[in-house]
Chains A and B, each alone.
Chain A
Amino acid sequence: MRVELDNLSKAWDGVVGADRITLEVADGEMVAFLGPSGCGKTTTLLMVAGIYRPTGGTISFDGRVVNEVAPKDRGIGMVFQSYALYPHMTVFGNISYPLRLKRLEKGEIRKRVEQVADMMGIGDLLDRRIAQLSGGQQQRVSLGRALVKEPQLLLFDEPLSNLDARLRLAMRGEIKRLQNDLGITSIYVTHDQVEAMTMADKIAVMSKGVLQAYDIPEALYDRPKTLFVAGFVGNPPMNFFDVEVMLLGGEFHAKNESLDLIVPDDRAAKAAAKEGRVVMGVRPEDVDVADDSSPRVEGLTLSAKVEVVEPLGREDLLGVVVGGVNVRLLVDKTKRAKPGDLVDLVFNMDNVQFFDPETEESLLWA
């Protein structure tokens, strides 16, 4: 089913939950709503579910406006962070509840529940009480309950947040596989960007009720359209510098009081067109500590003092200070950097980003 949100808004007594969200989810696609808590992603999802009534804009399923359609008539299944299972019913009671409400025939109900339960690997738990299940099992029941009525749209509200790390990883793959196999259009709300990046075909990044970007995961990472997206997507986050971009001796330089770096022409030209200072963004993996393997390059090297070293196992996350700005960089642990070391930083400027400091929009991908 194709889902279109057109200027969808929700406000309570002047407090805006979602502000003119416009996007389209193609049939069979899995879309993630990504953002920090309170960004409006769950509000938007609940409007799609029919739990919240929009205060503006429309929601369409396959081209038909469903704003005033009750949740039960929308053909949706939903999985909640808290699982939202009915504690006074058994597993069978929970999964069969949507079918019982439809007054399906008993044999048919049992057949469909067993089919879904087998698919979820909980076929032997049907007579259990909810309280006797582990978190992972509860989430499977919840997924089974959403799937049993054969919905045309699946909604996920942070379904993995309450699981421990290992289980989360396993369920992530499982939900993705299931969604692929069944081809059900899905919307997946999460604050975890890894979850969004790995599972979704497209990601809608939201902040303060506003849709910041809506694109495929690679594009969000490589071509962030706003400062917020650039800072939010990617972990550890992008480093930002206030610089002025200018043409000096045939080369573009990004300059401020403490740094002077040469920028590739194609990106710099757009940044230079903007008067005054701009925000330059460099990802932690695009900064390295100079040594034999990554030699100093004239115009791309700065010296700085290491303040913090956080070993991440495979790599070290270094915190250095450049002109009063904290900069984070990921370096190979063989570099053995220690706090207090004076090091030379080598910048890879091929992926550099530039943003307008006032509008916070990208100067490259507007």
Chain B
Amino acid sequence: MTITEATPPHHSTSPFPKVREKMGRRFAYGFLILSIAPILVGYSWLVIATFSIRTEGLLPRNAEGGIGGFTLSNWAFITDDAVWNAMLNSFLIAVTMVIGVGVASTAGGYALSRMKFAGRKVFLTGTLVLHAFKAEMLLIAIFFVLRWLGGIPLIGGFIGFNSVGGVALVMIALELPLGIWLMKGFFDNLPWDMERAALIDGASRFRVWWQIMLPQVRPGLAALSLFTFISGWNAYLVPFTFTVGTRVANMPVFLSQLISDTAPTNWNLVAAVGMFQMIPLIIFFIFTQELLLNIYAGGSKGT
């Protein structure tokens, strides 16, 4: 990450502008660095621990108790099938969510933004209420719905309780109100004349959506997809609640099992697995900064 110094700040009204400004700036940076320090410390530990035999505080310790003990042995799990299975599950959940949320949100958002139909107001209110409402409270009841879905012949095994598909489906539903709201906003900003022109040119409403409007909201869809992928990749509570054992565990669940199942916990192994899990996130963090800040402004769930 590079920071190029740019525009000067607002003019100061103080009689000694330069001095006061400099002081204020120093104070601001000091405050910002201090406030975020726990997170920076946390990340530092994660990186240090990943490559150490053991750590005390932020200090890596070697076998003799001195500083040192660099090792790559924590990464031996790379050859473990269980990790890759969890990775695959994480990936499947995230990708299914991107597709599911993408399809449902672009279609639903378009209808809510652009079409007249009986009940539109009810749908709009409902979406907004659900957007604020936290579905975590319904997990108990969703448990029974998933068990029932699992009983459906043929497809039940893919979408029921203790299946990757079931977890993905629940996660799609959780992200959907936000997705629809976001996409509706993007469609709201498109010019009406373009759509009118397409209708006059002979396109049906479906075709207008698919061929004319969707290409215009691609940036929005990309942002939503990124957001959905991250929440799918990081999903813990839903897969933890609705899966049992290691077969269907995704990365966060696998990691939590690793923490609680092995006693005493091998913290350095845990750190390495956590680090491993964060690789795609780090990539996003470096390459899509602007997008990240924008989508989280679009109305994040979570606290």
A interface residues (Cβ-Cβ under 8 A, vs B): 46, 49-51, 70-72, 74, 76-78, 80-82, 84-88, 97-98, 101-102, 145, 149, 157
Given contacts A88-B215, A101-B207, contact A49 B201 (CB under 8 A): no
- Inter-chain contact B201/A101, CB cutoff 8 Å: yes
Measured between beta carbons, the chain A residues less than 8 angstroms from B199 are: 50-51, 70-72
Which interface class (under 10, 10 to 19, 20 to 34, 35 or more) fits B?
Answer: 10 to 19
Tell me if B203 counts as interface (CB < 8 A to partner A).
yes
A101, B199: Cα distance in complex, Å? 11
- Inter-chain contact A49/B200, CB cutoff 8 Å: yes
A145, B197: Cα distance in complex, Å? 9
- Inter-chain contact B202/A72, CB cutoff 8 Å: yes
Measured between beta carbons, the chain A residues less than 8 angstroms from B197 are: 78, 80, 84-86, 145
Other A-B pairs beyond A46-B196, A77-B200, A97-B201, 15, CB < 8 Å: A51-B196, A71-B196, A72-B203, A74-B200, A80-B193, A80-B196, A86-B194, A86-B212, A86-B215, A97-B198, A97-B203, A101-B201, A101-B203, A102-B202, A145-B201
Binary interface profile of B, 187-216, with partner A (CB < 8 Å = 1, else 0)?
Answer: 000010110111111110001000010011
30 A–B contacts, CB within 8 A, in A order: A50-B199, A70-B199, A71-B196, A71-B199, A72-B199, A72-B200, A72-B202, A77-B200, A80-B196, A80-B197, A82-B191, A82-B193, A82-B194, A84-B191, A84-B193, A84-B194, A84-B196, A84-B197, A85-B194, A86-B194, A86-B212, A86-B215, A87-B216, A88-B215, A97-B198, A97-B201, A97-B203, A101-B201, A101-B203, A101-B207
Please provide the 9 A-B residue pairs with the shortest distance between their CB atoms, ordered closest to farther.
A84-B193, A72-B202, A101-B202, A84-B197, A88-B215, A98-B201, A80-B193, A71-B200, A84-B194
Measured between beta carbons, the chain A residues less than 8 angstroms from B198 are: 86, 97
Measured between beta carbons, the chain A residues less than 8 angstroms from B212 are: 86
A76, B216: Cα distance in complex, Å? 25
- Inter-chain contact B193/A88, CB cutoff 8 Å: no
A98, B196: Cα distance in complex, Å? 13
Measured between beta carbons, the chain B residues less than 8 angstroms from A84 are: 191, 193-194, 196-197
- Inter-chain contact A72/B216, CB cutoff 8 Å: no
Measured between beta carbons, the chain B residues less than 8 angstroms from A81 are: 193
Nearest-neighbour CB distance to chain A for B187, whole angstroms, equals 15
A81, B194: Cα distance in complex, Å? 11
Measured between beta carbons, the chain A residues less than 8 angstroms from B196 are: 46, 49, 51, 71, 78, 80, 84
Query: Which B residues from 207 to 250 make CB contacts under 8 A with A?
Result: 207, 212, 215-216
Which of A46, A84, A101, A157 has the most B CB atoms < 10 Å from its CB?
Answer: A84
Measured between beta carbons, the chain B residues less than 8 angstroms from A85 are: 194, 197
- Inter-chain contact A76/B202, CB cutoff 8 Å: no
**Nearest B-chain residue to A87, judged by Cβ:** B216
Which of B200, B215, B216 has the most A CB atoms < 10 Å from its CB?
Answer: B200
Nearest-neighbour CB distance to chain A for B217, whole angstroms, equals 11
Measured between beta carbons, the chain A residues less than 8 angstroms from B200 are: 49-51, 71-72, 74, 76-78
Measured between beta carbons, the chain A residues less than 8 angstroms from B194 are: 82, 84-86
Measured between beta carbons, the chain B residues less than 8 angstroms from A98 are: 201-202
**Nearest B-chain residue to A76, judged by Cβ:** B200
A7, B207: Cα distance in complex, Å? 33
Nearest-neighbour CB distance to chain B for A122, whole angstroms, equals 17
Which of B193, B197, B215 has the most A CB atoms < 10 Å from its CB?
Answer: B197
Measured between beta carbons, the chain B residues less than 8 angstroms from A46 are: 196
**Nearest A-chain residue to B218, judged by Cβ:** A88
A98, B198: Cα distance in complex, Å? 8
Nearest-neighbour CB distance to chain B for A41, whole angstroms, equals 15
Which of B193, B194, B198, B212 has the most A CB atoms < 10 Å from its CB?
Answer: B193
